[in-house]
Structure 1
Amino acid sequence: METPLPKATQKRQVTAIIILLLLWEVGGAVIKYSVLEERHSGSFVANLAKDLGLGLGELASRGARILSKGNKQHLQVEHKSGNLLLKEKLDREELCGDMDPCILHFQVLLKNPVQFIQGELQLQDVNDHAPEFLENEILLKISESSHTGAAFPLKIAQDLDVGSNTVQNYTISTNFHFHLFTRNRSDGRKYPELVLAKELDREEQPELRLTLTALDGGSPPKTGTSQVLIMVLDINDNAPEFARQLYEVQIPENSPIGSLVITVSARDLDAGTHGELSYSFFQSSNQVIQAFEINTVTGDIRLKKMLDFEEIRSYRMEIEASDGGGLSGKCTVAIEVTDVNDNAPELTMSLLMNDIPENTPDTVVAIFGISDPDAGDNGKMMCYIQDHLPFLLKISVENFYTLVTEGALDRESRAEYNITITVTDMGTPRLKTEHNITVLVSDVNDNAPAFTQTSY
């Protein structure tokens, strides 16, 4: 006949089972919040306890924590009130760049019992940046033979804000020869275009100076200006033409500085200085200018700095070929950066129990997350521990794992375990990260005294 388990042991077993059930009962719903950028640290976001259906004080009793990728904590929970607050002032442009919407993902971890809730914080833009031209002066060379209605694209202004807070319109100072038209690009940005309203006469006026103004959609709008210098040229009746309108190329992110990316080529049917070509970037961002350089004579585009796939995955630039007479032709170069396996997986420990009582099966030992910024197979990961240990790894939510005891531990048989958690990616070559933890088995009174002899 089996001896019934003590009530305390039965209670611990029931508690462990409840913990496991709650651990795997990860809700599919996502709590979503929205807040304006640049709000001060400690600003109210929402009442987390109310949104989770918890009573006053339950967040504290259940050990609520906010988890974010890479240990970057943007939020904090106030256990007493149940409020979710900003931990620091958030800059949307710093966190998301030109990505819109700007979504920061986080998780709510309730430790007792263990439960995960997924969360999203949308960071809304405020109009805290003014339009800015990369150059204080834009030079245009326009032939005096240009007909009315001819259009001349101008370089765009950049604005770190998004949506209606970015550049919405352009204006030009009053003059007799040109009016301005604002066009929409395929990527959603707007660019200015000068349209000739009255024919030019170089002998009458060899150059014009105008002021180009960019306005964003704020109220009141913020502005930025650049001077437009128009040089009126004698007749040159053939503009340069590129062999292709679109050049596409792929380049690995580990390509050395100075590597040839691609060569663009244009031709001009004119002779003399009117047929001599010079290549340059046109309407290119700071990112393009910092990463690439172009040979003005040959059209070779080469690397100026090392690329990083995890930072920028593609570049798009316009190349201008200008002849000696002031005419130009343009083409587009699209560069795709290909990934190499240059990032080892990372492991972030969220919960670690170094001391586990014996005789308690299915006990949570650790909770951790893994991540790898690489793409494709280079970013796919697998996680494992050594064989022949009484522990199991279980996945909780995507890239979050829980380490639990496989069965009841026996301190009298073994009082300490050294566990190595290994995370490896699927790239070539495979990169891995190892994390070592030590688990001590604490004693419970499960052995009665025993004599060494049955009789003396």
Structure 2
Amino acid sequence: MCSEEAMEAGGLCCSRQRQVLFLFLFWRVSLAGSVFGRYSVTEETERGSFVVNLAKDLGLGDWELVARGARVVFDDNKQHLLLDSHTGDLFTNEILDREKLCGSTEPCMLYFQILMDNPFQIYRAELRVRDINDHSPMFQNKETDLKILENTAEGTTFRLERAQDSDGGLNGIQNYTISPNSFFHIKIGDSDEGMIYPELVLDKALDREKQQELSLTLTALDGGSPPRSGTSTIRIVIVDVNDNAPQFPQAIYQAQAPENSPVGSIIATVSASDADSGIYAEIAYSFFDASEDIHSTFQINPVSGEIVLRVLLDYELVKSYKINIQAVDGGGLSARCTVLVEVLDTNDNPPELIMSSLSNHVPENSPEIILAVFKIKDRDSGENGKMICYIQDNLPFLLKPSVENFYILMTEGALDRESQAEYNITITVTDMGTPRLKTQHNITLLVSDVNDNAPAFTQPSYSLSLRENNSPALHIGSVSATDRDAGANAQLTYSLLPPRDPRLPLASLVAINADTGQLFALRALDFEALRAFEFGVGATDRGAPALSSQALVRVQVLDANDNAPSVLYPPHNGSAPCTELVPRAAEPGYLVSKVVAVDADSGQNAWLSFQLLRATEPGLFGVWAHNGEVRTARPLGERDAARHRLVVLVRDHGEPALSASVTLHVLLVDGFSQPYLPLPEAAAEQARADPLTVYLVVALAAVSSLFLFSVLALVAVRLCRRSRAAWAGGCSVPEGHLAGHLVDVSGTGTLSQSYQYEVCLMGGSGTSEFKFLKPILPNIQEQVLERNSEENPTIQNSFGFNF
């Protein structure tokens, strides 16, 4: 590369071995706080050539460019330079051709920006591509015919077609020469565009009769080192005198053509007139001193002078054309005019969006962060080039304008992945032309999860049930929780919480599957020992930090019919059988006894029914199915046997039903004073053992006692019947603590209400046999329950009965 001063002074080059030309960077602070830098590089410089160290010029540290994400963005969206963020060096990314990049424009400037994040900052800069002499001058026509009248005065000038050179500045065309001759010399003229052109000056009068034509060589020289040249042959034909040249009515024509004009459109029409006649009045139109661009864009009708469009116009490439038209008559005289064609802009270019940086992932609950930085541009001009940029209204994002048509897309606040995990953002850029054109760029933004949601059980409490006597490891139910988070933040682990009651052996009762939440019974449960229990379960996710929640589980143990009925009365513990005394005068429905039974089960399994299974004399006694009362079914007669044996069956309503049986002995007596009669076998044995005197004394005493007791009993029975309204049971029971011969059968589950009975025993029989059972006052029941609970607490605690 060569320095800018060296190039302007004469193009002195640096060492060919380095092949790197550079300029020092000049910076200045802009209104926005950005630095404007000018750089220079020579065209055709090898790819990877060093341009400048940006870190040093920007006053940044070695690694600051990397930390701030520095990058270079050109206006034409091409990467002409490459930035090494680690060293801060700026290199050429391609071989630059000034002629392709800028054409004839001089100086050739490429504008770019240096973008940095954290904080966001833009530095504007420009790169000048220096020209080298790599193109030779070229004439559009290698041979030019020039007709000159023989009477042309000395000093007359003829403008020649200038040569074209793609190089600029000093490397452009600097001089024209012509081959040695005695008639003409070259004069250099300056055009309005600042370009030179050759003029052929007649030094000596021509004589067609002596020489009809001349052939000269025109040479164009540029200012390169070494200089390059191009040649064209000028063939001069000396013609007879034609004293009237064509004339245009105006020297300059102005025309306008929209850039969307179709091919073949007539852009303008020129017309010239000639006062001569015949062949000297025939005019032919052609382009004069036209560039290759003019020839490729337009064509002229040589007869009509119509200028026709050959290709589509592009206002963004060329905004105007200057066309030189020459009219030549048949005698070789000519006239020239200029057609200025203004290209009108149409809205034929949609806006462009150039993305500089983009982030497609953002964590939820994050504050405002930058998602994308982009630039918009429109190649049109005026209203067609004005742009507006926006996104959808219903999104939590902001679009903020920056400098140099840069925009920043950022979050408006913290996002919630559980509400929406993905956003489709459409950036729309619309120009203000007619019709309006727009460009859309779609961005898919994924919101990454953070552990901000605790697990939630599907219900706050669970009610489970299982039947007693279950098998160990039985699945009794499941708990389930959900977590609105994702990934590891939504993976749950279930656990049992310590029970509220420390006496509950929860660890030996229930286990939980930590992954699925399934609950299992660890051992067989007994309804009679534990009817229900409750405990807490927890669900914890695997986030950091982990979040958890709790739920309550209630387990109800269902009863199974695993307990047979138990008969409480009459007792059947292997002692002497219980004998019930029934007077022969008893009426039908007389209460003989009551079978009292309980069942340790509950519900339907504890519903008991009573049935007379066997009887010594069928039809004499009956059992009430619901309360177990044994009553006479008909009046008793003298012929009925004195002793009867009844077998009562007690059955529950479980599935399958369980049962128990009890045997009752009933003794029919004529009166309540009649002593207890021993069995015939015992009396016979006693008669044989005692002397006769003893028999007589005993018999006399017995007859007397029986008669006296019968009279007293009969009186007592009648008194009890008369006072039945006052005494519900017929037996006088004092208030206070009950005697031991009262039996409580409350709470058995087999009666509709609680009953207490007084046991009236025969004289001499002790407490082994009942005489009759009668209800007593309810206020005595509490004393009986209290006493019996002290005597037999086991039965009371288990079944709720006192005996």
TM surpasses 0.5: yes
Q: 1:26 to 1:355 in 2, by over 3 A?
A: farther
Q: Which amino acid aligns with 2:212?
A: P
The correspondence of residues 1-400 of structure 1 with structure 2, limited to 5 A, is: 27-400=33-406
Which one has a bigger Cα radius of gyration? 2
CA deviation vs aligned residue, 1:176-222 (integer Å, no higher than 9, x gap): 01111001111011000011100000000100111100011112211
Q: Output the CA distance in 2 between the equivalents of 1:402 and 1:79.
A: 23
Q: 1:70 to 1:165 in 2, by over 3 A?
A: closer
Q: Any idea what SS the aligned residue of 1:334 has?
A: strand
Q: Which amino acid aligns with 2:312?
A: M
Quote how far apart the aligned CAs of 1:455 are.
7.8
Q: Output the CA distance in 2 between the equivalents of 1:90 and 1:284.
A: 28
Identical-residue share of aligned pairs (%) = 58
One of 418, 421, 439 as aligned partner of 2:445 = 439
- Contact in 1 for aligned 2:34/2:121 (Cα 8 Å): no
Q: Output the CA distance in 2 between the equivalents of 1:275 and 1:449.
A: 102
Q: Output the CA distance in 2 between the equivalents of 1:189 and 1:70.
A: 29
**1:401 to 2:441 alignment:** no
Q: Output the CA distance in 2 between the equivalents of 1:86 and 1:112.
A: 26
Q: Any idea what SS the aligned residue of 1:164 has?
A: helix
Q: Output the CA distance in 2 between the equivalents of 1:70 and 1:410.
A: 39
Aligned residue pairs, count: 432
Q: Which amino acid aligns with 1:332?
A: T
Q: Any idea what SS the aligned residue of 2:141 has?
A: coil
What TM-score, normalized to structure 1? 0.92
Q: Which amino acid aligns with 2:388?
A: M
Q: Any idea what SS the aligned residue of 1:157 has?
A: coil
Q: Output the CA distance in 1 between the equivalents of 2:405 and 2:269.
A: 43
- Contact in 2 for aligned 1:131/1:157 (Cα 8 Å): yes
- Contact in 2 for aligned 1:292/1:302 (Cα 8 Å): yes
Unpaired stretches in structure 2, ≥5 consecutive residues:
1-30, 461-549, 553-803
CA deviation vs aligned residue, 1:254-307 (integer Å, no higher than 9, x gap): 111111111101111111111111111100011111111111111111111221
Quote how far apart the aligned CAs of 1:80 are.
2.9
One of 431, 436, 457 as aligned partner of 1:430 = 436
CA deviation vs aligned residue, 1:312-371 (integer Å, no higher than 9, x gap): 211111101101111100000010111111111121212111111222232101111112
Quote how far apart the aligned CAs of 1:57 are.
2.2
Q: Output the CA distance in 1 between the equivalents of 2:34 and 2:61.
A: 21
CA RMSD of aligned residues (A): 1.6
Q: Any idea what SS the aligned residue of 1:279 has?
A: strand
Q: 1:70 to 1:186 in 2, by over 3 A?
A: closer
Q: Which amino acid aligns with 1:84?
A: L
- Contact in 2 for aligned 1:70/1:348 (Cα 8 Å): no
| Higher RCO (Cα < 8 Å, 6 or more apart) | 1
Quote how far apart the aligned CAs of 1:113 are.
3.5
Q: Which amino acid aligns with 1:88?
A: E
- Contact in 2 for aligned 1:26/1:117 (Cα 8 Å): no
Q: Output the CA distance in 2 between the equivalents of 1:29 and 1:68.
A: 16
**1:415 to 2:439 alignment:** no
- Contact in 2 for aligned 1:34/1:122 (Cα 8 Å): yes
Q: Output the CA distance in 1 between the equivalents of 2:48 and 2:119.
A: 28
Q: Any idea what SS the aligned residue of 1:420 has?
A: strand
Q: Output the CA distance in 2 between the equivalents of 1:252 and 1:450.
A: 69
Q: Output the CA distance in 1 between the equivalents of 2:391 and 2:224.
A: 55
CA deviation vs aligned residue, 1:141-185 (integer Å, no higher than 9, x gap): 000010001000000000001111100110111110111100111
- Contact in 2 for aligned 1:353/1:365 (Cα 8 Å): yes
CA deviation vs aligned residue, 1:71-120 (integer Å, no higher than 9, x gap): 31000112232110000110000000011111111111223443222111
Quote how far apart the aligned CAs of 1:136 are.
0.7
Quote how far apart the aligned CAs of 1:426 are.
0.7
Q: Output the CA distance in 2 between the equivalents of 1:299 and 1:436.
A: 52
